[in-house]
C-alpha cells in the first residue's frame, strides 16, 4: 500500500474487555514497530518485529499486552483485560529493514479509550 495503515482509527471499550489493534505495514518492509503515545508520557516503544527473528518485546508494559505478526506482514496488538491507564494512541511504524539506515514510517494510529 501507499503507507502504513491501522485499524480501527478509534476504539472505545469498557474496563476488563480485550481489544485487538491492527497494523498493515508498507509492502516490502521487513521491520515493524509498535509504540504508545500517552498524555504526559510521550512516545514509548512497545514491541519490534524483524523478518522471521524473535520479536523484541522489551517495551511491553505488562503480560496483558501481546502482539503477533503473521506472514511477515500484518501485525495485531492485543490488550487483554484493559485498564483505564491503557488509554492512549497506539502507533505502528515500519521500515525497509533494521540496519539503521532506513526511515521509520508511521501509521495514523489507533486512539484507544478505556472507560
Partner 1 sequence: KQEVTQIPAALSVPEGENLVLNCSFTDSAIYNLQWFRQDPGKGLTSLLLIQSSQREQTSGRLNASLDKSSGRSTLYIAASQPGDSATYLCAVRPGTGRRALTFGSGTRLQVQP
Take residue 54 and report the three cell numbers written for it. Answer: 524473535
Nearer residue to partner 1 within complex by CB, 25 or 109: 109
Is residue 65 involved in binding partner 1 (CB under 8 A)? no
Please count the residues of this chain forming the interface with partner 1, following the rule CB under 8 A: 25
DSSP-assigned letters across all residues of 44-55: EEEEEEETTSPP
Q: In the range 22-61, which residues lie near partner 1 by CB under 8 A? A: 31, 33, 35, 42-45, 48, 50, 56, 58-59
Nearest to 49 by CA among 37, 62, 40, 58: 58
What gap in Å lies between CA 111 and CA 87, rounded to an integer? 8
Identify residues 71-100 at the interface with partner 1 (CB under 8 A): 91, 93, 98, 100
Distance CA 74, CA 13 (A): 23
For partner 1, the binding residues (CB under 8 A) are: 4, 31, 33, 35, 42-45, 48, 50, 56, 58-59, 91, 93, 98, 100-101, 103-109
Amino acid at each position: 500500500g501507499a503507507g502504513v495503515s491501522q485499524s480501527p482509527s478509534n476504539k472505545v471499550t469498557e474496563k476488563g474487555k480485550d481489544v485487538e489493534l491492527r497494523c498493515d505495514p508498507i509492502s516490502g518492509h521487513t521491520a515493524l514497530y509498535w509504540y504508545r503515545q500517552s498524555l504526559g508520557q510521550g512516545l514509548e516503544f512497545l514491541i519490534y518485529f524483524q523478518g522471521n527473528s524473535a520479536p523484541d518485546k522489551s517495551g511491553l508494559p505488562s503480560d496483558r499486552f501481546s502482539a503477533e505478526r503473521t506472514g511477515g506482514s500484518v501485525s495485531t496488538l492485543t490488550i487483554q483485560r484493559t485498564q483505564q491507564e491503557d488509554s492512549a494512541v497506539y502507533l505502528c511504524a515500519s521500515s525497509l529493514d533494521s540496519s539503521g539506515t532506513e526511515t521509520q514510517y508511521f501509521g495514523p494510529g489507533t486512539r484507544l479509550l478505556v472507560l
